[in-house]
Chain A
Amino acid sequence: MSRENISSHQQHADHSHDSHDHKPRGISRWLFTTNHKDIGTLYLLFSLLMLFTGGILAMMIRAELFQPGLQFVDPHFFNQLTTVHGLVMVFGAVMPAFVGLANWMIPLMIGAPDMALPRMNNWSFWILPFAFTILLSTFFMEGGAPAAGWTFYAPLSTTYSSDSTAFFVFSVHLMGISSIMGAMNVIVTIFNLRAPGMTWMKLPLFVWTWLITAFLLIAVMPVLAGVVTMVLTDKYFGTSFFDAAGGGDPVMFQHIFWFFGHPEVYIMILPAFGIVSSIIPTFARKPLFGYESMVIATASIALLSFIVWAHHMFTTGMPVAAELFFMYATMLIAVPTGVKVFNWVATMWRGAMTFEVPMMFALAFIVLFTIGGLSGLMLAIVPADFQYHDTYFVVAHFHYVLVTGAVFGIISGVYYWIPKWTGVMYSEKIGQLHFWCSIISVNMLFFPMHFVGLAGMPRRIPDYALQFADMNAFISIGGFLFGLSQLIFVWMVVRCMRGKGEKATDRVWEGAQGLEWEVPSPAPYHTFQTPPQVK
């Protein structure tokens, strides 16, 4: 395949820009920056901060669950912890990390000088710190933070919630606006700023998956905005969308929420598919197997995500016909997802593999994400779902797809591209240590959750019956170890940012293909100011 070849003339042109590579200094550089690399860095660092914020909440949850009985927190505070943990991880850690990677990599991958709408880019980032300050400040309010779960089912989140609801709704609005602006930027950039010759079917898969994700974001974030607004008006302005007393229906909340919620799940995994699809061919030194079918599979997953939402609500009392429809539709998603996994395995097949840290995380992604996918298939079976629903089995399932799926995807992307960002190789020793600590502890943390769930432990409880005690202690230990392991990741990132380590080459990886590897390492402040010619 010759799609990534650039003329050597182009490379020279690009290097010549290094000389006028001046950037503003100090805090105003970061506050007013419109540079996609700066904004990408800001997004990624913010997401790391949020990963640890949400992580600390998770550690508190696991500390309380270490033993039966109430030790550290009261049940109301426990509910605040689970709620805010979910919100911070979904909207603060995973989504901004993907936007950060998109900012850094999409222009480099498609040969664009920057994102198409740089000022909006700056704005969409700087909304986030305000949104999360508002959300986290509710912990210090009288009545505490929102406590109805990250899914905030009415009427627990309306009539029966504390006054932090108003702050929560406002912060979700801000997060939504930020995501929508980020998504618009991605779409416009991909549509309008592709280098000459970069046709649709030459786009790297990370770009494709992000394009599809961006459309999902634009389609469903406004629905989330709508549903939180209904919560707000139900609580404070006398409407009764979700209150039976006024002719509303609490189950309708769940329908509207999950109409957003299910595509949201794919928003959090599709870009990770893209990252892994870049990494596997590099380290297998072999082109990606089935590029076209990967694109089609991604698009069909995205489309199917709009007709499966009610599989989150099988126990709410649906007609059999609806249950059957949502069961079949959900099972159908396994087909394109399976195609992706098979394609990755076929890419590795008869390659010449090496196992640097990005590859290790990508391989862990494939195995563990597949486990999460298979438990998802089990959850789709309605009769069995009646037993699984709202137990730790579900908790295990979505942590497999989101932690060992999305987060591992992000981490492997960071290892893969950090030499390009900082100009130095990360320490392979530290990286491998991080990988092995993470992979062992994450399975100690989430794998036993399947069993306690099957044995009947419901989710979102601060205290449990004695038969779950030994497993929960084990899970908590896994949790603490996983939390600690991520400090190694921070150590690695800090080392690279301070320029410690071996100087990275421009191509960084022997098997790397694509425009991002044609620019120097570290990538200069301005790249591709004259578009490269893609053959």
Chain B
Amino acid sequence: MVSNTRLVRRLIIICIAMFAFGYALVPLYDVFCEITGINGKTSNQPAVTRAAVDETRTIKVEFLANRDDAIPWSFAPEVAHISIHPGQVQVINFMVENPTDMAMVGRAVPSVSPGEAAKYFIKIECFCFTEQPLDAHERRAMPVQFYVDPKLPAHFSTITLSYRLYKNIPQLVGR
């Protein structure tokens, strides 16, 4: 038999471990999302791999841009949608303009739909990886360079890439 004190000590350790586990769910969730594509989360790291172009298939890629109320910029994709072959590398510009008299910093959060297609949507370069500072009245094109992985399951024919632009908030937690 274990003494009361030692038993209580073990139970407290379980409690602390479970509290920590609650926080560990945060990074675990990100991993889980990347594997399963919950919320169409995509990797926020530039990809380095390339794939062979599969000319037998055509995928329609749609672009959406919207913004939070806190950042009064105009923000829109250059084209509403394109058709590409899997493996074909493409650059699309998103036009952004700061109509105010103040310099501001924005950050775009990407979301890909359908969620399960997210991991086949490979971004080589994206303005969403970094903060985007804009001077007063500055207008700029923000490029995203990507390709669709030829391993994309056959039942997907359309992929939507959506960005939501937020006013950058200083990070206290490194996520």
Q: Which residues of A contact B (CB under 8 A)?
A: 116-117, 180, 183-184, 187-188, 191-192, 218-227, 230, 237-241, 243-249, 251-252, 255-256, 259-260, 317-322
Contact = CB atoms under 8 A, between A and B. Distances in A.
Interface in B83-113: 107, 109
Contact of B16 (A192, A222, A248): A222
Contacts of A117: 4, 8
Nearest to A234: B173
Given A191-B2, A319-B116, 9 more contacts: A116-B4, A218-B15, A219-B18, A223-B22, A225-B19, A245-B107, A247-B44, A318-B36, A318-B115
Nearest to A185: B8
Contacts of B68: 245
A197 to B, nearest CB: 15
Majority SS at the chain A contact face: helix
A239 B26 contact: no
A8 B16 CA distance: 46
Interface of B: 1-4, 7-8, 11-12, 14-16, 18-19, 21-23, 25-26, 29, 33, 36-39, 41, 44, 68, 107, 109, 115-116, 164, 166-167, 169-173, 175
A117 B5 CA distance: 9
A192 B1 contact: yes
A219 B12 CA distance: 10
B171 A184 contact: no
B7 A188 contact: yes
17 contacts: A180-B15, A184-B11, A192-B2, A221-B18, A230-B26, A238-B169, A243-B169, A246-B166, A246-B175, A247-B175, A248-B175, A249-B41, A255-B29, A317-B115, A319-B36, A319-B116, A322-B36
A124 to B, nearest CB: 13
Contact of B26 (A241, A243, A246, A319): A241
B38 to A, nearest CB: 6
A225 B19 CA distance: 7
B18 A223 contact: yes
Contacts of B175: 240, 246-248
B57 to A, nearest CB: 21
Contacts, number: 116
A248 B12 CA distance: 30
A191 to B, nearest CB: 6
A223 B169 contact: no
B172 A238 contact: yes
Contacts of A317: 38-39, 115
Contacts of A240: 169, 171, 173, 175
A252 B26 CA distance: 8
Nearest to A224: B22
Given A218-B11, A240-B169, A246-B171, A252 B29 contact: yes
B169 A192 contact: no
B116 A320 contact: yes
Given A218-B18, A240-B173, A259 B25 contact: yes
Nearest to B2: A191
A226 B23 contact: yes
